Structures are given as structure tokens and as C-alpha cells.
Structure 1
Amino acid sequence: MMSYKSLITFIAITALATLAACSGKPRVPKTFLSDRQLNLEEFFAGKTVAYGQFQDVLGNVPRRFTVDIEGMWNGETLTLVEDFLYDDGATEQRIWTLTKTGEDGWTGTAPGVLGTASGIERGDTFNWTYKIDLPIKEGTMRVNFDDWMWLLDDDRLLNRAYVSRYGVRLGEVILFFEKI
């Protein structure tokens, strides 16, 4: 039988986890912040650099990184070669293959991604969701990404990704992309 103190602690932790998981996330807008039109195939064609960090739900920033990206669009497929350099010196490469599935839709695959990622591009906004076995120091961790991107101007894109596992938010990845 659970003690009263243990029960109160359990309820408090459950309530906090539920609040963290349910806290506001963006939605694909019906109206837009600007009249800009994000076209992934145009934005990511050529070289792009991204600067980012992961922040856990407690506000800690355990990892920062930069990503050099080479993008190639062949009229049907957008290939993104992403070379990560973490602040601890670790490196990683991820190669995305994205396919445009209609006026607003995208699908994609990359090593470590389970199944197919899917996304929708509307106005200056792109939302991208996928499940991935994310490399960590101890091996890999299976997490869900809910990526949101906003075109700030022709050369800059802001990205906020909500990272969760088993429906519980672990933290967020904030990235700033810049064409070079």
C-alpha cells in the first residue's frame, strides 16, 4: 500500500508531466505572420548552416551544436546532407531524402528514422513530425520530434522542435538556419 506522502508525490509528478506534455505548441496556421512563402526546396538548395541547442523540460541546456547542410533539389527529391558538430567535439551525419507529395505535403526518410516522416508546408510555416532513434552517449534513444519552422526572411529560418518519449515531453531543440 502506498503511503499518503508517496501518493501526493506521485500525483504531483503526474500532474507536472501532464502539464509539460500539454503545454502550448504551434498549429498549422490559417493566417500567417507574413506574406512570405516558405519553399523548402528553394531555401535548402545549396549550403546552409544551423546553430542549435537542446533544452530539457527543467530549462537545462545539456548540448549545443552546429550543422553544416548541403541541399540538392532534383525537381522531385530534396536531399539534405547534415553534418553535426556538437560542443563536446562529437560529430554525426544525417542524410535526409524528402519528397514533395503535393502542393503542401512532404514525406521523408533518413537513417535512424522509423517509418516515414511527414510534413506540411503552409505560407511561411513548415511542420514536420517523425520518430527517430536519436544517438546519445549511451547508445540511442527512441524519441518523437514535432518540428516547427518559420521563414524569417529569404536567408533565415527559425526551428523549434518538441522532443517527447512515450507521450511525455523531454525538451526542445531550438535551431536557427542561415543560407551561406
Structure 2
Amino acid sequence: MTAANKPETRRRWVRWAALGAGVAGLSALTACGRPSLSDGKLSSRSLNLEEYFDGRTVAYGQFEDRFGTVRRRFVVDITGEWDGEKLTLTEDFRYSDGTTEQRIWTLTKTGEDTWEGAADGVQGVARGEERGDTFNWAYTIDLPVPRGGTMRVSFDDWMWLLEDGRLLNKAYMSRFGVTLGEVTIFFEKK
């Protein structure tokens, strides 16, 4: 290596180190303030997905980017069928821009409080756990984007059973470990 190339090589290493430090810092920030299954319970209710989602449910939601701007709103009509082993959820989305989408989930109960699931676009297996009135669900999915095509994102999805057949859902969406935004959904049994 010539003397002229050494400073350029050093600058490249400094840039890569700075980029790595920035990504590590963002990753650390995205982990702050998230729920945990070990958080104290605020009610004596128990969420059982197979009971809650068996039948018809309507959900109202929105996507908010990481800067707090609401980017998209939607309504979802959900039909659930529990056969004693698998829960099938047919989700029909209607977005505020007039577009529609259907996603069909097949969830399998793998233990007393654990679940695995699959749907079109999901990479690998979605995994979830119920604890008291809370359910945590994690998966990576290729989501359709409004301008066409798909984008691969990861969800850290949290649900809390409220009163009178209501369920609150907050999902943290990330890509390459960097938070893109949050999806907030309010479910009602019909």
C-alpha cells in the first residue's frame, strides 16, 4: 500500500466505525420503552386468543412513523375460526386511501400459553406468548407498500385485553433493527 492510500483507508475505517456506532446507538434507543411480559399486570383478566378471536371482530388502526406523523389509517374485518387446535384469522383490510388487502393467518397453539403462526409474506414462523391479559407476538413479514412492491419489516406486537370485549394492540415496526414507526389498533368483538 502506498503512502497516498493509507489516509484514504483510514478515512474509510473511520466512516465505517462511525456508521456502526450510529446504528448501535439507534438500536439501543429502539429497545427503550417497550413492554415486557414481566411487567406488572393491571387486571385479573386472562387473554385467550382462541376465545377472543373465535367469531367476528372489527379493528380500527393507524400507522404512525417514528417522528409521530400518522401516515395511514385502516379498518379490519376479522373472521376467526377455532377448531380446537388451530385458529384461522381472515383479515380484510380497508385503508383510508381506498385500497384493500386480505391476510389469512393460521395460528397453532403450541403450549398452554404459546403460539406459532404463518401467513402469506411472513418469513419463517411467527411466535407468541400469552401472559395474563397480555399477548406478545413477534414476526418478520413482507408488507405491500402503497407505491407498489413490498418491504420486509419486523413486528414486536403487543395486545392487552381491556373490558367489554375490547383489545388494545400496539405493534413496533422496524427494519434492520431501526424503528420505522408504530401501529396502534383497537379491536371490538361483534
Tell me the TM-score normalised to structure 2 length: 0.86
With structure 1 as the length reference, what TM-score do the two structures score?
A: 0.90
Distance in 1 (CA, whole Å) between partners of 2:20 and 2:176 is: 18
How big is each residue's C-alpha offset from its partner over 1:100-141, in whole Å with a ceiling of 9 and x where there is no partner? 011110000000101110000010000000000011023100
Q: Quick one: distance in 2 between partners of 1:94 and 1:145?
A: 15
Q: Please list the CA deviations of residues 81-107 of structure 1 after superposition, one character each: whole Å capped at 9, or x if unmatched.
A: 000000000000000000101111000
- For residues 42 and 15 of structure 1, the distance between their equivalents in structure 2, rounded to whole angstroms, comes to 41
Among 161, 169, 179, which residue is 1:159 paired with?
A: 169
* Residue in structure 2 matching 1:76, options 67, 85, 97: 85
Q: Which residue matches 2:45?
A: 36
State the Cα distance separating 1:24 from its structure 2 match.
1.2
* Correspondence list, 1:138-177, <5 A: 138-177=148-187
Q: Percent identity?
A: 63
The structure that has the greater radius of gyration is: 2
Aligned length: 176
- How far apart, CA to CA, are the structure 2 residues paired with 1:13 and 1:87? 35
Counterpart mapping for 1:82-121 below 5 A: 82-121=91-130
What 5-or-longer segments of structure 2 have no aligned partner? 1-7
RMSD between aligned alpha carbons?
2.1
**SS in structure 1 opposite 2:68?**
coil
